[in-house]
Structure 1
Amino acid sequence: MPAPPEDQNPGEQGATVQDPWRPGPPAPAPAPPPGPAASDWPVYPGPVPGPMPQPRNGMGVTALVLGIAGVVLSLLIILFWMSWLPSLLAVIFGSLGLSHARKGLATNRAMALTGVILGAVGLLISVGGGVVAVVTVKKVTEDARARIDEVKAAEAAEDRKAREEEKARHLSFGETYTYENGLKVTVAEPQPFTPDDYVFGHAKGNEAVQVTVTVVNSGKERISVETGLPNVNDADGASTELVIDGSGRQKVITGYVLPGRKSVGKYAFSLPPDAADRIEVEFSPDAKVWPDAYWSGPN
């Protein structure tokens, strides 16, 4: 085997040995990209951008105005029924305004939202006012009908009472009618009457009858009999004439009737022969205060 040359330096040989853990030299920088190829055509500038579109805030403004109008009208007692229309429009326009704001077409989202809220409040107040108005009108109507029914019932009761009182004032001979002041009146069945030769009110051929009226005071105070003269109607309903003669048998009730006392009146009347089969007697102690009572029957 040949020996290594002697002129070689071992230190130099060792110096040429590289460290495997030492980083190598940095990589070269990449080459720049090639520029645009040269062209013989001229270069024109790009299009100029147009102006930015105006925000569509009209819906929000309209909603706010209508919402305020709806709330104001709903608070007025007279005009609350008109508030539903602007309130409803406020909700509609406000919803459209919110939609535009979400799409970036409007910048007044808060205004549109306020319009929706005011519109909803106006609608609620309007509906509530309408319900209150309906209930109030219904109650007033029912009260008016109730009052009308009460008036009708009272009138019917008065009519019924009047008919009953009228019926109670029509009696047969011998029955007694009592007035509210406690005066009791009884008319006896008429009796034949023969006038004397000196007579007034009795035509020749007529039939004369005597009517006896008895008045009793059942009250606690004396009662004045102002009209103590009865009226007598014949069978045809015609008034008859009072017979006056000189016999002194007639007696007219006048003056006061004391409590517990009675007064008797006797009267004679002339009846035509063709209407003397039935008579009716009317009597009232005071025609200005008390209605007449009626006694009737065959003669």
Structure 2
Amino acid sequence: MSQFTQPPQSPQPQQPYTPAHTPGLRPARNGLGVSALILGIIGAVSGLIPFFFWLAGILGVIALILGLVGRGRAKRGEATNKGTATFGAVLGLVALILSVVGAVITFKAVDDAVNDLSKAVADTTASAKPEAGDAGSTADKGKDKDTGKALEAGDSAVYDDDLTVTVGDATSYTPDSFASGHTKGNRAYRIAVVVENAGKEKFDAALVNVEARAGKDGVNAEQIFDGKVGEGFSGTVLPGKKVTVQFAFDAPADAENLTVEVNPGFTYAATQWDLKL
């Protein structure tokens, strides 16, 4: 009896293992979140300095946009740094707020500086307040008048805005029977005060104040009011025009001089005239 023997088969070669490809698997896209964080930090730090409000505003807007887009990617599974993107967006919003605050502070500081500069220039160029002795006769205008002495009758006080005040001689005056301010036994004197506006702006003559003192002791000389004198200045004086007002003052009989003081207004310095009686 014969026995059948099958020849041995050669083993199949072993194939190397190849992992199956997983569709949709990509690297995480975390760049926007990181960028938002970096720009947000720089913007927030810049916002702490008011002058750099413009830089904080620009970086804040960019960081906020990138942070929100980065959060969207994280929600879709395209990125893994949702927290970083969120923090970057928050810092961008902080930078925007600091930018607004810095802009307000900067513009306020600039406005204050401009106002202070304008005030300083106005004070420097103020034209209506001469110092004591800064008024003299018209013929002496431009010369050194800082003597500190009173002017004489007929002299003019010329101010920097070309306002001219002139006081004339003191002449004897007889008040009428209804006059006020005159004391029996005293003598009355009348003077003419002329205000001429040679400047370019109209002048408020209602602000002119005229007072007088009599004698060496400087006794107050009462102003006399009657039908002819005592009305005072009123209205305005246009450029190129002048106005003359008569005043009368009561002085002791033995007074030898009358000191008349004229103050054209709040922004002017008063000037005095020493009139011989």
Structure 1 or 2, whichever has the larger Rg, is: 1
For the superposition of Structure 1 and Structure 2, which TM-score range results when normalised by the shorter chain? 0.3 to 0.5
Q: So what's the TM-score if we normalise by structure 1? A: 0.43
Q: So what's the TM-score if we normalise by structure 2? A: 0.46
